[in-house]
Amino acid sequence: MAPTSSKFCVLLSLTLFQLHLVSGGRLANGSSPLNQGLEEKTTTIHFFFHDIIVGEEPTAEKVAEVEMSKTSMTGFGMVALFDDPLTEGPDATSKLIGRAQGLYASASQNDLSLLMVLNYVFLEGEYNGSSLSILGRNSIFSSTREMPVIGGTGMFRLARGYALAKTYSLDLLTGNAVVEYNVTVIHY
């Protein structure tokens, strides 16, 4: 019986849709089923990121480029992987607080903008073992760049926030850079 079965289908899909709303939606008090009963905290972490391309112990290396990279003014298509130290101060010998591990790719044909995909893994103090994940656009010659924090683990489970970056020093010959970061996250 066609009419009855299509009515049934409509009913079924309405029910599934409502179930989806309930399971995915936020509760009335603004908390989600995942963070119920937990208090929201805001944390800002300040550190310096050391990207060493040329040196005794490099921390970043190009892993790929495309045909267009050779003629592009911005090196479009280049991809590099890195495992960069994060330190308390701008000096490479200052206290290590974690590492930034991930990749950057030259993703703009018109300016030097990198697609950044990385995790900060913290190695000391109360954040030891916790991590934050970043996915964003880094227009490296802008004085301040902003990248979204899209998640985290450990102390930073369910984190969301943003990272602000400013170049502290850049060697144009080697590409080695020290970048100051303030990363602000809301977590529980």
- Interacting stretch for ligand NAG, rule CB under 6 A, among 15-23, 58-66, 99-107, 179-187? 179-187
Q: Does 46 bind ligand NAG (CB under 6 A)?
A: yes
Q: Which is nearer to ligand NAG, 80 or 165 (CB)?
A: 165
Q: Could you say which of 164, 167, 184, 186 contacts ligand NAG (CB under 6 A)?
A: 164
In degrees, to the nearest 5, what angle opens at C-alpha 164 toward C-alphas 161 and 168? 155
Q: Which residue has the tokens 């079924």?
A: 12
Q: Could you say which of 35, 83, 154, 180 contacts ligand NAG (CB under 6 A)?
A: 180
Instruction: Show the 3-state SS of the chain.
Output: CHHHHHHHHHHHHHHHHHHHHHHHCCCCCCCCCCCCCCCCEEEEEEEEEEECCCCCCCCEEEEECCHHHHCCCCCCCCEEEEEEEEECCCCCCCCEEEEEEEEEEECCCCCCEEEEEEEEEECCHHHCCCEEEEEEEEECCCCCEEEEEEEEEHHHCCCEEEEEEEEEEECCCCCCEEEEEEEEEEEC
Q: Which is nearer to ligand NAG, 26 or 46 (CB)?
A: 46
Q: Does 170 bind ligand NAG (CB under 6 A)?
A: no
**x/- binding map, residues 100-139, to ligand NAG, per CB under 6 A?**
------------------------x---xx----------
Count other Cβ atoms within 10 Å, centred on residue 8.
Answer: 11
Q: Does 142 bind ligand NAG (CB under 6 A)?
A: no
Structure tokens at 84: 């960069």
For ligand NAG, how many residues bind (rule: CB under 6 A)?
10
- Interacting stretch for ligand NAG, rule CB under 6 A, among 25-33, 62-70, 80-88, 177-185? 177-185
Q: Does 182 bind ligand NAG (CB under 6 A)?
A: yes
Q: Which is nearer to ligand NAG, 5 or 93 (CB)?
A: 93
Residues making contact with ligand NAG (CB under 6 A) = 46, 124, 128-129, 164-166, 180-182
